[in-house]
Amino acid sequence: MSGQSIGAVQTQRAHFDQPLTLRSGAVLPAYDLVYETYGTLNAAKSNAILVCHALSGHHHLAGYYADAPDNIGWWDNIVGPGRPLDTDRYFIVSVNNLGGCHGSTGPSTINPASGKPWGADFPIVAVIDWVHAQARLADRLGIDCWAAVMGGSLGGMQALRWTITYPERIRHAIVIAAAPKLSAQNIAFNDVARQAILTDPDFHGGHYYEHNTRPTRGLRLARMLGHITYLSDDQMGEKFGRDPKNGAFAFNFGVEFEIESYLRYQGDKFAGYFDANTYLLMTKALDYFDPSREENGDLTATMARSKAGFLIVSFTTDWRFSPARSKEIVAALLANGGDVSYAEIDLNFGHDSFLMRDAHYHSVIGAYLRNIKL
Amino acid sequence: MSGQSIGAVQTQRAHFDQPLTLRSGAVLPAYDLVYETYGTLNAAKSNAILVCHALSGHHHLAGYYADAPDNIGWWDNIVGPGRPLDTDRYFIVSVNNLGGCHGSTGPSTINPASGKPWGADFPIVAVIDWVHAQARLADRLGIDCWAAVMGGSLGGMQALRWTITYPERIRHAIVIAAAPKLSAQNIAFNDVARQAILTDPDFHGGHYYEHNTRPTRGLRLARMLGHITYLSDDQMGEKFGRDPKNGAFAFNFGVEFEIESYLRYQGDKFAGYFDANTYLLMTKALDYFDPSREENGDLTATMARSKAGFLIVSFTTDWRFSPARSKEIVAALLANGGDVSYAEIDLNFGHDSFLMRDAHYHSVIGAYLRNIKL
């Protein structure tokens, strides 16, 4: 794989005093956003790319911190000099979304009105709220129009929303492993995950910070369940099989199969650092996302508002947001005579494919970005 | 739909004093089985059919109880005079499996050694253990050889196991919506369900009976998750959609979508009557099931032991045990030159299709059974 890491990076913080009216009707009087930038904004300010994160992501997209060299960004493999998101050419912006738990204002930050963590009092946020907040950050950075907004999964939904809500401020959208809205089954998985958290006795109605506890049991279950939907059935079979982990079965409730070990490890790790209230909010943002509601469910009419060029990418083994879901977006764009490229990548990592380093996949992204005129 | 209900039925109980050595190596010194029978055993004792239940099933297969007319058997739609399992022709036997929670010896029954409920001390049971116990019940009923053993899902696995373990005692096997073994993904779903129960603070290491509590939170989550895997994605979309349940969104953690209402209701209902320890045992029996392990993973060599005729049935929309999994069994039987019929039924109810009343599906079962010589 060509290209290099961007190297050591720094997190920045922006405070916003102007109230933000949310999709729910609630008003956030003020808020902070933490973000990172890589590369240099050109004089014409025409080379900025916004990368949006998914459910458990954050602003630390690429590089590492000088004082924590092992803390490498979640999509480092695609960002850097000579990489598809080429920092020699582009100015990359990555922001932790409102409601997050990595520094931006969210349930675990202090509510000025109470002097205590927001907890369950933090309002429900929607994808459109994140897009409005990102637009204000763009204003702050002097970016009138993004060369591109992109992301995978929930990140792709933000890119899609940008093209509808701010058609004059985005020239290209790269929407990867996403869907125009969740299916009932997608919502069902999210609801089981939420119920695991909401019914954990340590949840305390979302005010667990004050009880010096955390609903780790529920969050662990939510993450275990999530992982099943991120991987493909085939990949799970190839990677973990179903032979006894220890040669023979013990006939108890310990680990009998490799997949149990993997899921429990992933669940424990995640529950150790992620905030349960943020997890709840992110899954709700997924559930509510459906821009076509503004046009009575007509996705074609909705996408007619967009003026952006599109690259839509899906993965053959993704059953969370299958290629068929991406093609719904493609069809709506084509029906409007829109400028759309579509790539269906044959990768065996299910929904998680979008995070993988794969030469073909990365060449598709890289080629699209190289062809954008600055 | 032709045929009638069998009408009022009675549950019977059999006590077994002969110790049963289980797959795990544990020995059950004595046990009870509750069961029901419908129809009349003929003089040649050649017309007996054993119907095996799945994860949450039991012995009350058909009819109702005189003192509880609303308590209708779980597969009543297929059993009765003139129905596919025709009680004018066949003697039908249905038994609650060991480890169950409907009357047979299991975690919630009294352990004679302690005078308290078995709880977590009840041994892990495997499909082969159920088959051995069912064989002893057959002895008790004077049935040397079943005309057929049948079941859906985990019930189908018992039918499959019968043909391998007691080839001289079964003439036909009807294996519906099953698989020769679980995939890693199947096991993964089971493990999340189990972890929900095992980590519920009310589980008390499986001895919750003594604490006058029940791990209903965990069992509820397990059942919600299970239901997602029982239904097809398409059916969920058609039945529940993703429109706001109440016309507009409330932006809170209550019910926003119909599917949430459905899952929570199903979870609550199940957690209200089913025993969590039994749920754990049933999912473990599923995980461990893999008769081919006795032949180093060679399913063809395994099925070569069988002498039965087979009807294998799968459903197009079943993604828990897809048609491809049924075809693995068919292929192994064909490789041995076995007597096998295969039907892939186009029904939209996912894994749950096997419980549905459908004319085509029922005609396939009925025709196969009518052609069995008594």
Q: Where are the alpha helices (DSSP H) in chain A?
A: 127-141, 154-165, 184-198, 216-230, 233-240, 258-273, 276-288, 299-303, 323-335, 359-370
pLDDT for the residue numbered A282: 98
In 3D space, the residue among A364, A374, A347 whose CA is nearest the CA of residue A311 turns out to be A364
pLDDT for the residue numbered A330: 98
Calculated CA dihedral for residues B93, B94, B98, B99, nearest 10 degrees: 180
Distance CA A150, CA A372 (A): 14
pLDDT for the residue numbered B60: 98
Give residue-wise pLDDT tens across range A83-99.
999 999 999 999 999 99
Q: Is B318 a catalytic residue?
A: yes
- Residue in B129, B318, B352, B358 annotated catalytic: B318
Query: Best of A125, A242, A286 to disrupt the B interface by mutation (most B CBs within 10 Å)?
Result: A242
Give residue-wise pLDDT tens across range A173-196.
999 999 999 999 999 999 999 999
A249 reaches B (C-beta below 8 A): yes
Task: Give SS3 for B122.
Answer: coil
B260 reaches A (C-beta below 8 A): yes
Inter-chain contact A224–B192, Cβ cutoff 8 Å?
yes
Closest alpha carbon within chain A to B263: A188
A360 reaches B (C-beta below 8 A): no
Inter-chain contact A188–B228, Cβ cutoff 8 Å?
yes
pLDDT for the residue numbered B2: 73
Calculated CA dihedral for residues B342, B346, B347, B349, nearest 10 degrees: 80
Share of chain A above pLDDT 70, in %: 100
pLDDT for the residue numbered A73: 98
Calculated CA dihedral for residues A253, B152, B61, B240, nearest 10 degrees: 90
Residue A180 DSSP label: S
pLDDT higher than 80, residue A274: yes
Inter-chain contact A124–B252, Cβ cutoff 8 Å?
yes
Q: Name the helix (H) or strand (E) containing B165.
A: helix B154-165
Residues 128-167 of chain B with CB under 8 A from chain A are none
pLDDT for the residue numbered B221: 98
Q: Which of A196, A258, A263 sits opposite B221 (nearest CB)?
A: A196
Inter-chain contact A287–B256, Cβ cutoff 8 Å?
yes
The residue behind tokens 């999964």 is A153
Inter-chain contact A195–B220, Cβ cutoff 8 Å?
yes
Inter-chain contact B233–A198, Cβ cutoff 8 Å?
no
**Residues A351 and A318 sit within 8 Å (Cβ to Cβ):** yes
The string over A206-228, giving b where at least 16 C-beta atoms fall within 10 Å of a residue's C-beta and e elsewhere, is bbbbeeeebbbbbbbbbbbbbbb
Share of chain A above pLDDT 90, in %: 98
Mean pLDDT of A252-262: 96
**Residues A362 and A3 sit within 8 Å (Cβ to Cβ):** no
Inter-chain contact A228–B192, Cβ cutoff 8 Å?
yes
Q: Is A318 a catalytic residue?
A: yes
In 3D space, the residue among A364, A291, A371 whose CA is nearest the CA of residue A333 turns out to be A291
Q: Is A139 a catalytic residue?
A: no
| DSSP letter for each residue of A332-349 | HHHHTT--EEEEEE--SS
- Residue in A76, A86, A275, A318 annotated catalytic: A318
pLDDT for the residue numbered A2: 73
Q: What's chain A's Rg over C-alpha atoms?
A: 20
Distance from CA of A236 to the nearest CA of B (A): 6
Residues 185-204 of chain A with CB under 8 A from chain B are 185, 187-189, 191-192, 194-196, 198-201
pLDDT higher than 70, residue A6: yes
Give residue-wise pLDDT tens across range B88-109.
999 999 999 999 999 999 999 9
B172 reaches A (C-beta below 8 A): no
B208 reaches A (C-beta below 8 A): no
Closest alpha carbon within chain A to B232: A185
Inter-chain contact B181–A242, Cβ cutoff 8 Å?
yes
- Residue in A5, A94, A153, A232 annotated catalytic: A153
Closest alpha carbon within chain A to B181: A242
CB-CB neighbors (< 8 A) of A257 in chain B: 184, 187, 191, 287
Query: Along the 374 residues of chain B, how does pLDDT read in single tens digits?
Result: 578 999 999 999 999 999 999 999 999 999 999 999 999 999 999 999 999 999 999 999 999 999 999 999 999 999 999 999 999 999 999 999 999 999 999 999 999 999 999 999 999 999 999 999 999 999 999 999 999 999 999 999 999 999 999 999 999 999 999 999 999 999 999 999 999 999 999 999 999 999 999 999 999 999 999 999 999 999 999 999 998 999 899 999 999 999 999 999 999 999 999 999 999 999 999 999 999 999 999 999 999 999 999 999 999 999 999 999 999 999 999 999 999 999 999 999 999 999 999 999 999 999 999 999 99
**Residues B258 and B241 sit within 8 Å (Cβ to Cβ):** yes
The residue behind tokens 């509880």 is B68
Give residue-wise pLDDT tens across range A29-54.
999 999 999 999 999 999 999 999 99
